[in-house]
Amino acid sequence: MLDITVGLNELQYVSEIHIVAINNEVKELLWLINKGFSKAPKIKTINFNKTLNEKFDFVWGDESQSNFSSPLKFLYEPNAAVLKSGAFHLISERYSVQKLHKNTHLFTSDKTVNFPGRKFIINATIPYSKKEIKKSLQINKANITTRNFPESVSEIRRKFKISDGGDDYLFFTTSENDQKIILACSKV
Sequential pLDDT tens for the chain (188 residues): 358 989 999 999 999 999 999 999 999 999 999 999 999 999 999 999 998 899 999 999 988 889 999 999 999 999 999 999 999 999 999 999 999 999 999 999 999 999 999 999 999 999 999 888 888 888 889 999 999 999 999 999 999 999 999 999 999 999 999 999 999 999 99
**Residues 138, 113 contacting (CB under 8 angstroms):** no
Q: How far apart are CA 113 and CA 98, in angstroms?
A: 12
Domain segments of the chain: what residues?
4-59
| DSSP classification of residue 39 | S
Which one, of 170, 67, 167, 27, lies nearest residue 18 by Cα? 27
Q: How far apart are CA 70 and CA 155, in angstroms?
A: 25
**Residues 122, 183 contacting (CB under 8 angstroms):** yes
Q: Is the dihedral of CA 18, 21, 26, 28 positive or negative?
A: negative
Helix (H, G, I), strand (E, B) or coil at 183: strand
**Residues 8, 32 contacting (CB under 8 angstroms):** no
**Model pTM score:** 0.92
